């Protein structure tokens, strides 16, 4: 991994992964491409940035050749809620985009990182301690593209020896870039609302347990997997990984320890609740732990404290913060 391309670089994972890779590999060795969101100044000024539609294979190929890329972190994708609103577009971006990346990787001998998701599972999957290898019959378009994506990656690995590795991410919590249209977005929105209004109205039921992870762990996992010794990997692709398995109620209680006046209410959105109910409550990630040494650093309490400090700092810089939450208790 010497010259890297990050697709979806303006998204929730991409915006942070790009900066960590630039620190580790040198800014000139990490090319970032995005499409619909504006890149922030840090992303623009720290290295090469290009606007590119992932559905355009020639454009992907040109960037890879121009910058002699050897590894592609392919993060461009529509998330679960948006994909359900626009299923045809989701198929186009998530599947045609992945196919383009795999084809370019095949022709240019690149390794590929592909993020799958808890969304790749469905109602028939065991919800507790979801095994690494188990039934996958999702009934959302997002899930369909994630399962098909996992299989397509396996196919390119077996048929063309493309070095494809991937993870099944849980919901991701981060302060830098807002998530964009997922069911687990509540776990990010809640922090903004807690700091700005000291109140949050959650669209999921209080007891909806889902796997979550803080972004530094998610970024670290992707890099670590791509650097793992191939001889140690039995699965190589679609590894279950998790860190924190929580409900909205538990997350609210932890936030309340720092912002005592914080109030949580609930107005269930049946569409998003139905998607959440079809996902695992807690994945078994022992294969990742055994095969390439995955371990998370951020527990619920450490993550919440860090989120509140960093987000308060960001919001005060942006002149957003109002009221009592200016001074959360740490």
Q: Closer to ligand AKB at the Cβ: 84 or 254? A: 84
Is residue 142 among the annotated active site residues?
A: yes
Residues 194 and 215: their CA atoms lie apart, in Å, by 19
User: Residue 31 Cβ, how far from ligand AKB at the closest point, in Å?
Assistant: 25
Min dist CB 33 to ligand AKB, Å, is 21
The 8-class DSSP code of residue 123 comes to T
Q: Which of 49, 142, 156, 200 is catalytic?
A: 142
Contact 22, 7 (CB under 8 A): no
For 161-221, the DSSP string reads ---EEEEEE-EEE-SSS---S-GGGHHHHHHHHHHHTSEEEESS-TT--EEEEEHHHHHHH
**Residue number with the smallest Cβ distance to ligand AKB:** 182
Nearer to ligand AKB, 13 or 315 (CB): 13
List of residues 6+ apart from 175 with CB closer than 8 A = 191, 215, 307, 310, 311, 314
Q: Least Å distance between CB 209 and ligand AKB?
A: 13
Residues forming the site for ligand AKB (CB under 6 A):
79-80, 117-119, 142, 169, 171-172, 182-184
Q: In terms of DSSP bridges, do strands 128-130 and 210-214 run parallel, antiparallel, or are they unpaired?
A: unpaired
Shortest distance, CB of residue 50 to ligand AKB, whole angstroms? 25
Cβ 59 to ligand AKB shortest distance, Å: 26
Beta partners for 72?
5, 112
Token code pair at residue 144: 């369909």
How many angstroms separate the Cα of 139 from the Cα of each of 84, 88, 132, 174, 273?
Answer: 10, 15, 19, 27, 13
User: Alpha-carbon distance 173 to 68, whole Å?
Assistant: 33
- The catalytic residues are 142
């Amino acid at each position: 991994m010497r010259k890297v391309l990050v697709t979806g670089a303006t998204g929730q994972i991409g915006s942070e992964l790009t900066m960590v890779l630039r620190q580790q590999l040198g800014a000139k060795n990490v090319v970032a491409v995005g499409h619909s969101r504006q890149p922030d100044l840090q992303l623009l000024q720290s290295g090469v940035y290009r606007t590119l539609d992932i559905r355009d294979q020639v454009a992907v190929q040109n960037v890879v050749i121009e910058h002699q890329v050897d590894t592609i972190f392919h993060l461009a994708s529509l998330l679960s809620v948006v994909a359900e609103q626009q299923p045809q577009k989701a198929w186009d971006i998530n599947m045609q985009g992945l196919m383009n990346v795999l084809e370019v990787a095949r022709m240019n001998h690149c390794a590929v990182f592909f993020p799958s998701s808890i969304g790749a599972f469905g109602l028939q999957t065991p919800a507790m301690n979801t095994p690494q290898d188990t039934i996958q019959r999702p009934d959302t378009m997002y899930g369909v593209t994630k399962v098909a994506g996992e299989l397509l990656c396996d196919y390119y690995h077996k048929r063309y020896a493309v070095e494809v590795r991937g993870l099944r991410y849980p919901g991701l919590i981060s302060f830098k870039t807002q998530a964009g249209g997922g069911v687990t977005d509540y776990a990010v929105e809640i922090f903004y609302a807690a700091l700005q209004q000291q109140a949050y109205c959650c669209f999921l039921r209080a007891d909806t347990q889902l796997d979550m992870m803080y972004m530094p762990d998610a970024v670290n996992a992707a890099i670590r997997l791509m650097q793992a010794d191939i001889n140690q990997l039995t699965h190589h692709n679609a590894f279950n990984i998790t860190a924190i398995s929580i409900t909205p109620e538990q997350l609210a209680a932890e936030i309340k320890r720092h912002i005592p006046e914080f109030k949580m209410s609930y107005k269930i959105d049946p569409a998003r609740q139905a998607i959440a109910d079809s996902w695992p409550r807690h994945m078994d990630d022992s294969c990742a732990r055994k095969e390439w040494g995955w371990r998370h650093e951020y527990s619920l309490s450490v993550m919440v404290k860090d989120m509140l400090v960093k987000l308060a700092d960001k919001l005060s810089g942006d002149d957003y913060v109002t009221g009592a939450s200016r001074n959360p208790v740490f």
